[in-house]
């Protein structure tokens, strides 16, 4: 159940209401705030300094001479915020006066990155702010470094959501991003004895100037309990859900500015609170822990992003999180955003809820519950509305990532929703039987309810049944989604399936992250590319201009030096100068095949120390990894340990000094990505074909002038087609070849025995050479490679080394390499998230 929680100030008879809807007409016509926000004067350095000092004095309560760096950062952030707020209020006013269809983006993750630099860029205040801070005797770079990045996402899914809401604002498309305000977000990664250690990410500990709490828009969310169905005199069934317990969802609003267009959309993140946070009677009895137990239980819901779910308690908490934020979000739009007299039969004209993977799919039965139980719609009316209001993006091909919730857990936590899912499934299977009479095996395969090994709800199936459209996120992924993951559904509803290839925002990942390159591009073709990335094509002729290639190389070298300085200060790591920067940064998962990269490094090292290859014949390379492993993913954490162990030995061995080095900075995040990606020469995108949905890191690297070595997987297929085979290092099996090998029977130990270089490489690892002679320390990874190798690392090893030899040959010609890198930039404009949003608008949202 969801209801607005009255704010005490609104409820009190003694408190005058400040609700603008209740203010009398005399005030409305005479007060300048009544008709709209105050217009922000054009920014000047003096005005910026005055506002900054005012925020420092009256916001932080301190003088400039006595202020800390954090005081100064908060005052600067609030100063920039003031310039955004006028546009935010104006955007809201304009959209209320002329309502349009809104995108409700439902996502469990938003990996936003630092906000100060992005908001300075969006408001075109970068230069003014720098001069203003200089006049105040402050280094603005120090204030930028003070900001703590919100850890509200785990990887590509959350960063994609952040890119999408950025693009929608830049395109002036009404959008509300809905998610969870995790108190701790994704963990902060550290290394101890080369092993990953997870530390809570206290990103809110120093204050967050970018959020606006709105307790007056709180929502009540229910869990557990029982349902009771009664029949009225007209024969209509009415269901009452009596919950066991409830929590309050409190919204925090974040501004999402478009790029210098005066548009500011809203990101609304929900934080869980107890309905009765403190029991004074129990406290006075001396049981202090029990007095706040309800508060602790409620706040656990929004405490941590992706709680460890290897336990029943962890699974239940994850489901609580998912229902909590979608229940808050649907209630917020229907009851707090739409006019009170809005006809919900037309709901699809005002909102399309985009389900960002399976995490928010419980929103489907929640909307049905709202319409049937709260608003009095008959079932068929409610179902017709619901099927027009959702679209579903599938972000994976891995079975374990397609969420399945046990019937027992759903029935215990959300009994009314399970009843609704049962009825949706019953009517859907009747539809299947009608289309395919007599095919009960098909009916069983397509049932939303899985019967084995335990009864469970398949959330991807529920999403597919209810959604108006289902899309994959790259051409190959969408094809495999139709043909391999949901083939029965695509045959039943071929028109429902479509593709939207992912994209990244050029504002953050080129203009902000790579200012040197963006300045060079702007000097060459103008600044229109920032909001029209297809214009990068105008750079193509300059790939044949020797002077431009020299400038391009200078940008890359300066970015490498910037990264080296950062890693020296941040991590105590030294990057040798004058080497190729070979980078693999992404979530640590077996299918992404960091182990294949590791085998390449060890094989190069083995060649040198064994004497087979003179050190001077090895292309100088610095290998950089960045990856977090899920806390409960044991093998992934063992791979991280082994990478670090290899790095320790390689970096200390004089035999390969100046030729091979390995860096693994801890806690890879957006902030580090903004420095690392512009510096990279080679982008490693080496997942097993058919396993990566899309990838967005591959796009960021190409846009910043790195060449890709990769398989034909995910968006690599489209990158290679656009940049040209000669500017991409392709290797490995295709998806059909992977399927064929799997069907034929893959035995990794046979590959090991048949390739002497592979055998020597694995034997060196297994010998304990990199772990002080401790063979057991490497056994989990080696045993997995030799006896399971689910993602066929060994099968692609030889092709990968051959491709790396082509990389060496190409890198030996700096001029030709620069030409290829420039063409990668020029031909990657397709991978703008602005283009992705245009595709969603045209193919799915029809907004």
Q: Are 274 and 295 in contact (CB under 8 A)?
A: yes
Q: Is the pLDDT of residue 198 over 90?
A: yes
* Residue 261 burial (CB count, 10 A): 15
Task: Read off the pLDDT band of 231 (50, 70, 90).
Answer: confident
Q: Are 712 and 821 in contact (CB under 8 A)?
A: no
Closest CA to 325 of 2, 6, 7: 2
Closest CA to 627 of 581, 673, 661, 596: 673
CA distance 98 to 100: 7
What value, to the nearest 5°, has the Cα angle with vertex 518 and ends 516 and 524? 105
Per DSSP, the three-state class of 427 is: helix
Q: Residue range 28-37: average pLDDT? A: 50
CA distance 101 to 502: 22
Q: What does the block give as tokens for 43?
A: 């920014």
Q: Residue range 338-354: average pLDDT? A: 97
**Looking at beta carbons, which pairs linking 808-811 to residues 24 or more positions away fall under 8 Å?**
808/619, 810/707, 810/729, 811/580, 811/619, 811/681
Q: Residue range 493-503: average pLDDT? A: 98
What's the residue count for the chain? 847
CA distance 428 to 465: 8
* Mean pLDDT, the chain, whole residue set: 93
* Residue 146 burial (CB count, 10 A): 19
* DSSP designation for 656: G
Q: Residue range 466-479: average pLDDT? A: 97
Q: Residue range 534-545: average pLDDT? A: 98
Q: Is the pLDDT of residue 17 over 70?
A: no
Residue 775 parent element (H or E): none
Greatest C-alpha distance within the chain: 91
Unique residue bearing structure tokens 């597919």? 464
pLDDT of residue 10: 34
Query: Which residues does the annotation mark as catalytic?
Result: 395, 586-587, 592, 696, 700
Q: Is the pLDDT of residue 33 over 80?
A: no
Task: Read off the pLDDT band of 40 (50, 70, 90).
Answer: low
Q: Is the pLDDT of residue 36 over 70?
A: no
Q: Is the pLDDT of residue 5 over 80?
A: no
Backbone angles phi, psi at 373, to 5 degrees: -85, -35
In sequence order, what are the residues at sequence separation of 6 or more whose Cβ sits closer than 8 angstroms to the Cβ of residue 336?
A: 4, 217
pLDDT of residue 30: 45
In sequence order, what are the residues at sequence separation of 6 or more whose Cβ sits closer than 8 angstroms to the Cβ of residue 604?
A: 618, 621, 660
Q: Is the pLDDT of residue 580 over 90?
A: yes
Q: What does the block give as tokens for 637?
A: 């954490």
pLDDT of residue 310: 79
Q: Is the pLDDT of residue 52 over 70?
A: yes
Per DSSP, the three-state class of 24 is: coil
Q: Is the pLDDT of residue 283 over 90?
A: no
Per DSSP, the three-state class of 330 is: helix
Q: Write the pLDDT tens digit of every residue in 751-778.
A: 999 999 999 999 999 999 999 999 999 9
Closest CA to 170 of 695, 533, 699, 539: 533
CA distance 687 to 452: 30
* Residue 635 burial (CB count, 10 A): 17
Q: Are 270 and 293 in contact (CB under 8 A)?
A: no
Q: Residue range 123-150: average pLDDT? A: 96
Cα distances (Å, whole numbers) of residue 169 to 79, 108, 115, 264, 840: 21, 20, 15, 6, 14
Q: Are 220 and 298 in contact (CB under 8 A)?
A: no
Task: Read off the pLDDT band of 545 (50, 70, 90).
Answer: very high
Cα distances (Å, whole numbers) of residue 381 to 329, 359, 469, 844: 22, 26, 19, 22
Q: What does the block give as tokens for 725?
A: 């085979």
Question: 32 burial class (0-12, 13-18, 19+ CB within 10 angstroms)?
Answer: exposed
Unique residue bearing structure tokens 């499934």? 425
Q: Residue range 550-572: average pLDDT? A: 98
How many CA within 13 A on the CB side of residue 112? 29
* Residue 790 burial (CB count, 10 A): 13
Q: Residue range 673-692: average pLDDT? A: 98
Q: Write the pLDDT tens digit of every residue in 499-539.
A: 999 999 999 999 999 999 999 999 999 999 999 999 999 99
In sequence order, what are the residues at sequence separation of 6 or more whose Cβ sits closer than 8 angstroms to the Cβ of residue 607?
A: 613, 618
CA distance 433 to 846: 31
Q: Write the pLDDT tens digit of every residue in 627-674.
A: 999 999 999 999 999 999 999 999 999 999 999 999 999 999 999 999
Residue 205 parent element (H or E): none
pLDDT of residue 13: 34
Task: Read off the pLDDT band of 34 (50, 70, 90).
Answer: low
pLDDT of residue 309: 79
Pairing relationship of beta strands 195-199 and 188-192 according to DSSP bridges:
antiparallel
Task: Read off the pLDDT band of 298 (50, 70, 90).
Answer: confident
Strand partners, 267: 177, 254
Residue 827 parent element (H or E): none
pLDDT of residue 234: 78
First-to-last C-alpha distance (Å) of the chain: 30
pLDDT of residue 14: 33
What value, to the nearest 5°, has the Cα angle with vertex 220 and ends 214 and 224? 150
pLDDT of residue 9: 36
Q: Provide the angle, in degrees to the nearest 10, between the axes of the packed helices 69-97 and 116-123.
A: 50
Q: Are 165 and 267 in contact (CB under 8 A)?
A: yes
How many CA within 13 A on the CB side of residue 204? 13
Task: Read off the pLDDT band of 288 (50, 70, 90).
Answer: low
């Amino acid at each position: 159940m969801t209801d607005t929680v009255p704010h005490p100030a609104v409820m009190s008879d003694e408190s005058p209401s400040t609700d603008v809807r209740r203010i009398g007409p005399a005030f409305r016509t005479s007060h300048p705030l009544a008709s709209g926000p105050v217009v922000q004067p054009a920014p000047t350095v003096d005005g910026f300094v005055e506002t900054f000092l005012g925020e420092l004095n009256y916001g932080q309560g301190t003088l400039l001479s006595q202020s800390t760096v954090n005081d100064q950062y908060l005052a600067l952030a609030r100063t920039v915020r003031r310039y955004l707020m006028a546009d935010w209020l104006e955007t809201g006013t304009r959209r209320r006066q002329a309502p349009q269809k809104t995108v409700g983006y439902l996502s469990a993750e938003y990996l936003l990155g630092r906000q100060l630099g992005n908001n300075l860029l969006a408001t075109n205040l970068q230069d003014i702010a720098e001069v203003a801070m200089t006049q105040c005797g402050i280094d603005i770079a120090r204030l930028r470094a003070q900001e703590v990045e919100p850890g509200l996402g785990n990887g590509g899914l959350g960063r994609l959501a952040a890119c999408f809401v950025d693009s929608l604002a830049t395109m002036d498309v009404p959008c509300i991003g809905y998610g969870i305000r995790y108190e701790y977000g994704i963990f902060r990664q550290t290394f101890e004895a080369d092993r990953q250690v997870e530390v809570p990410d206290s990103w809110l500990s120093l204050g967050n100037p970018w959020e606006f709490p709105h307790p007056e828009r709180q929502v009540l969310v229910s869990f557990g309990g029982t349902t009771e169905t009664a029949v009225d005199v007209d024969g209509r069934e009415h269901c009452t859900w009596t919950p066991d317990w409830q929590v309050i969802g409190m919204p925090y609003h974040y501004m999402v500015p478009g790029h210098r267009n005066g548009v500011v959309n809203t990101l609304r993140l929900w934080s869980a609170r107890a309905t009765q946070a403190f029991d004074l009677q129990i406290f006075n009895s001396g049981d202090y822990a029990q007095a706040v137990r309800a508060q602790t239980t409620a706040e656990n819901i929004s405490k941590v992003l992706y709680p460890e779910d290897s336990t029943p308690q962890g699974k239940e908490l994850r489901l609580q999180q998912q229902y909590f934020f979608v229940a808050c979000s649907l209630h917020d739009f229907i009851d707090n955003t739409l006019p009170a007299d809005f006809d919900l039969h037309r709901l699809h004209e005002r909102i399309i809820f985009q389900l960002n993977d399976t995490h928010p799919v419980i929103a489907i039965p929640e909307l049905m519950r709202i319409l049937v139980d709260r608003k009095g719609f008959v079932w068929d009316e409610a179902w017709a509305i619901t099927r027009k209001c959702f679209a579903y993006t599938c972000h994976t091909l891995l079975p374990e990532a397609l969420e399945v919730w046990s019937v027992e857990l759903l029935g215990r936590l959300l009994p009314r929703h399970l009843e609704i899912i049962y009825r949706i499934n019953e009517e859907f299977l009747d539809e299947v039987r009608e289309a395919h009479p007599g095919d009960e095996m098909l009916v069983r395969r397509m049932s939303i309810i899985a019967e084995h090994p335990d009864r469970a709800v398949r959330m991807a199936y529920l999403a597919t049944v209810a959604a108006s459209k289902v899309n994959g996120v790259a051409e190959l992924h969408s094809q495999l989604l139709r043909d391999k993951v949901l083939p029965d559904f695509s045959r039943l509803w071929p028109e429902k399936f479509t593709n939207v290839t992912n994209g990244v925002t050029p504002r953050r990942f080129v203009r902000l992250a790579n200012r040197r390159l963006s300045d060079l591009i702007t000097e060459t073709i103008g600044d229109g590319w920032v909001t029209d990335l297809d214009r990068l094509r105008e750079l193509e002729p300059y790939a044949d201009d020797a002077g431009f290639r020299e400038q391009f190389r200078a940008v890359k070298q300066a970015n490498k030096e910037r990264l080296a300085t950062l890693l020296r200060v941040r991590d105590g790591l030294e990057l040798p100068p004058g080497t190729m920067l070979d980078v693999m940064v992404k979530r640590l998962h077996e299918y992404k095949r960091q182990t294949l990269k590791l085998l390449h490094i060890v094989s190069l090292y083995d060649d040198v120390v064994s004497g087979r290859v003179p050190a001077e014949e090895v292309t100088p390379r610095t290998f950089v990894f960045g990856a977090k492993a899920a806390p409960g993913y044991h093998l992934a954490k063992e791979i991280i340990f082994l990478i670090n162990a290899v790095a320790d030995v390689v970096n200390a061995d004089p035999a390969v000094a100046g030729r091979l080095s390995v860096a693994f900075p801890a806690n890879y995040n957006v902030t580090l990505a903004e420095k690392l990606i512009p510096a990279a020469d080679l982008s490693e995108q080496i997942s097993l074909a058919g396993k990566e949905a899309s990838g967005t890191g591959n796009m960021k690297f190409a846009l910043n002038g790195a060449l890709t070595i990769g398989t034909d997987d995910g968006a690599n297929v489209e990158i290679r087609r656009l940049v040209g085979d000669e500017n991409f290092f392709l290797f490995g099996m295709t998806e059909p070849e992977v399927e064929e090998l799997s069907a034929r029977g893959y035995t990794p130990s046979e590959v090991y025995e048949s390739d002497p270089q592979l055998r020597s490489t694995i034997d060196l690892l297994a010998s304990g050479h990199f772990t002080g002679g401790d063979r057991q320390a490497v056994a989990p990874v080696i045993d997995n490679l030799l006896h399971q190798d689910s993602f066929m690392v060994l099968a692609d090893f030889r092709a990968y080394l051959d491709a790396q030899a082509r990389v060496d040959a190409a890198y030996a010609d700096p001029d030709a390499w620069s030409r290829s890198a420039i063409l990668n930039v020029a031909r990657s404009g397709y991978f703008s998230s602005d283009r992705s949003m245009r595709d969603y608008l045209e193919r799915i949202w029809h907004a």
